[in-house]
Structure formats: structure tokens, C-alpha cells
């Protein structure tokens, strides 16, 4: 099969017509989003260009330290992004639990995927290490963000229900079980929806990239199935670790609800 077609600079410029169309629509509908769209487009372009050149250097100069540094940066940014996207103030204890869940869940899934499923050599090969790590971390970040939001809103909206259960003798675990289960369901739902529509409604990014690089569609399917299962594992582990420890921060040592 042929190698992937290259896109020239001017061909890439023509793709920005879609941003122009979007700006025209929001202006026509008088939706005040022009500034955000322009900033988002500019940031996306600059960030991707910088990442592209950094990855070129790392790919040409493979070293375990470089791969681990990139992985650490992705984890750090993901945790920071979860803090930033939270609509409610987060306690320091809850922030530590978010970081613990994010790092632990993604690393377990990531290294299992790398050493058991794909088994590439060397294990820190950045062409596999960085993209796979990015996909697992990115999806887990979304899952925990949804879990945090749903958990906090659940305790706020069902405060009286939880307190009533505690007064009747229920443990904090039992009193908050419905809230925790709902948070977990909300966190993993986007991943499940992606699995349902994958292959029929849309072709996922990794599969598209592998096909464009000239690989067989069958090989692309194998990679996509594997990475999707890895994403499910990463999201599930990260979210359940967060919820298992996170709900406890809403109770004091006397098993009383605190908000």
C-alpha cells in the first residue's frame, strides 16, 4: 500500500475555512463566542506545531528518560486540567485523591497494555509509548472529571437523603452508595457510547491514522480494538479508585456528612 499523502502548507491553510464558517454562523446568530473560537484555534495550532517538533526530536533520539518525561508531563497536565474544570471548590484532600487515582489507574492500564498486549521493543519506544499513553490518560481525565462533577453534585442535591440514612444507622458507604454508583455510571458512559458507535457511526482516530500510514485495515482494526479495551480499563480503574476514596472526604471521623 502507498505511504500516507503529505499535506502541503497551503493545503492546510485551506482547512481553516471551516473556522471562518463557524465564526460566520456565531456572528449571524449573535452568539458571543468569536473570541473563544479564535483563541482556541490559535492555541490548538501553536500547541500542535510545538508538540510536532518535540516529537520529531524524541523519535529521532530515543531514550527512556525522554519517554518518561513526556508521560509525567501528560499526567501532570491531566490532573491540573481536572482541578481547573471542576465547577466546585476542591479540598486539598480530594485533590490528592484525584491525583492518586489518575496516576495509579492510568499507569496500571498503560504498562499492562504495553508489556502484555502490544509488547513493543524497546518498551519505551516513543512511537508507541507516547500516543498510547496520551489516549489512555486523555480518556481517564475525562472520566474522572465527570466523576468529580457528578459526585459533588450528588452530595449537594441529596444531602438530606444521606443525612436521613445516617440517622437511621447506615454507614457512610451505604448512605452514599447511590451517589457513588451514579457518578461511576456518568463517568464511564462516554466511553461506552464510543464503543457502541465505533466502526459503524465513525472510524476512530487511531484506526484512521494507522490506515492513512499505509497499514492494512485489518491490522488497524486490531490496534483499535486493543487500544479501546485499554481505554476502558484505564477509565474504569481511575474512576473507581477516585470514587472509593473520594466519597470518604465528604464525611468526618464521626461519620457525619460535611459539605
- The residues facing 251 across adjacent strands are 257
Element (H, E) at 145: helix 126-157
pLDDT tens-digit map of 77-89: 999 999 999 888 8
- The residues facing 257 across adjacent strands are 251
What pTM was estimated for this model as a whole? Answer: 0.86
Q: Got the DSSP string for 157-205?
A: HTHHHHHHHHHTT--HHHHTHHHHHHHHHHHHHHHHHHHHHBTTTB--H
Quote the DSSP letter at residue 124: T
Proportion of the chain above pLDDT 70, given as a percent: 92
pLDDT tens-digit map of 7-50: 899 999 999 999 999 999 999 999 999 999 999 999 999 999 99
- How does residue 217 score in pLDDT terms, banded at 50, 70 and 90? confident
Question: What residue ranges do the domains of the chain occupy?
Answer: 1-61, 63-250
Quote the DSSP letter at residue 87: S
Measuring CA to CA, which residue among 259, 251, 244 is closest to residue 147? Answer: 244
- The residues facing 198 across adjacent strands are 202
Amino acid at each position: 500500500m502507498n505511504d500516507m499523502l503529505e499535506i502541503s502548507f497551503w493545503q492546510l491553510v485551506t482547512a481553516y475555512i471551516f473556522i471562518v464558517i463557524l465564526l460566520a454562523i456565531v456572528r449571524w446568530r449573535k452568539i458571543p463566542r468569536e473570541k473563544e473560537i479564535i483563541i482556541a484555534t490559535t492555541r490548538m495550532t501553536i500547541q500542535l506545531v510545538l508538540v510536532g517538533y518535540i516529537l520529531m526530536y524524541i523519535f529521532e533520539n530515543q531514550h527512556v528518560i525522554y519517554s518518561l518525561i513526556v508521560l509525567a508531563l501528560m499526567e501532570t497536565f491531566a490532573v491540573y486540567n481536572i482541578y481547573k474544570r471542576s465547577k466546585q471548590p476542591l479540598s486539598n484532600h480530594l485533590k490528592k485523591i484525584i491525583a492518586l487515582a489518575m496516576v495509579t489507574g492510568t499507569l496500571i492500564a498503560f504498562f499492562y497494555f504495553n508489556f502484555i498486549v502490544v509488547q513493543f521493543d524497546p518498551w519505551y519506544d516513543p512511537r508507541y509509548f507516547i500516543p498510547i499513553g496520551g489516549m489512555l490518560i486523555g480518556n481517564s481525565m475525562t472520566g474522572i472529571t465527570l466523576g468529580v462533577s457528578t459526585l459533588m453534585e450528588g452530595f449537594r442535591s441529596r444531602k438530606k437523603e444521606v443525612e436521613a440514612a445516617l440517622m437511621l444507622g447506615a454507614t457512610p458507604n451505604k448512605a452514599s452508595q447511590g451517589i457513588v454508583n451514579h457518578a461511576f455510571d456518568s463517568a464511564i458512559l462516554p466511553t461506552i457510547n464510543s464503543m457502541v458507535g465505533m466502526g459503524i457511526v465513525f472510524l476512530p482516530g487511531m484506526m484512521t491514522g494507522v490506515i492513512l500510514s499505509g497499514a492494512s485495515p485489518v491490522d488497524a482494526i486490531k490496534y483499535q480494538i486493543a487500544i479501546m479495551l485499554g481505554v476502558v480499563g484505564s477509565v474504569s480503574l481511575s474512576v473507581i479508585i477516585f470514587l472509593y476514596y473520594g466519597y470518604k472526604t465528604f464525611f468526618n471521623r464521626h461519620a457525619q456528612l460535611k459539605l
